[in-house]
Amino acid sequence: RLARAVLPVARHLPPAWLLPMVRGGLLRGYADHERGIHSVAHYVRPFGGAEGRDALVRHLIELDAADTTAIASRLKEVERPTAIVWGEDDPFLPAGIARRLRDAIPGSTLDIIPGARHFTPEETPRRIGDALTSLLRR
């Protein structure tokens, strides 16, 4: 929401003003704050200059839920084994979305990781690996 609110002026802001907002937003996706600080520093590095800021703005413009909504009715057509792994405390995409995906994709499995947030592959790699191993065995 913050990203959408800032978009009209974001391309005119100095990157030094914009990046702290991006950092703060992304940090919300981590249960482990120290890991988040380290990872987010890497993620935002390319957006430090004017060209990076412009690329970030283009990326934010492309974050449109309409694209996802447009394919929702086709999820029932998925014929491949599907594993959905989700952080229980994801601040960006609530676990209810994961449940809706599971219900919409025939035969899919759902693993909601307690205490995990958005960046589950980074913070809970063993759980992700277990889900992938199980998926590959199906």
**Which pLDDT tens digit goes with each residue over 62-81?**
877 788 888 999 999 999 99
The average confidence (pLDDT) of the chain is 91
Judge contact between 113 and 85, C-beta under 8 A.
yes
Q: How confident is the model at residue 9 (pLDDT cuts 50, 70, 90)?
A: confident
pTM passes above 0.85: no
Indicate the burial class of 70 (C-beta count within 10 angstroms; 0-12, 13-18, 19 or more): exposed
Q: How confident is the model at residue 60 (pLDDT cuts 50, 70, 90)?
A: confident
The pLDDT of residue 13 is 83
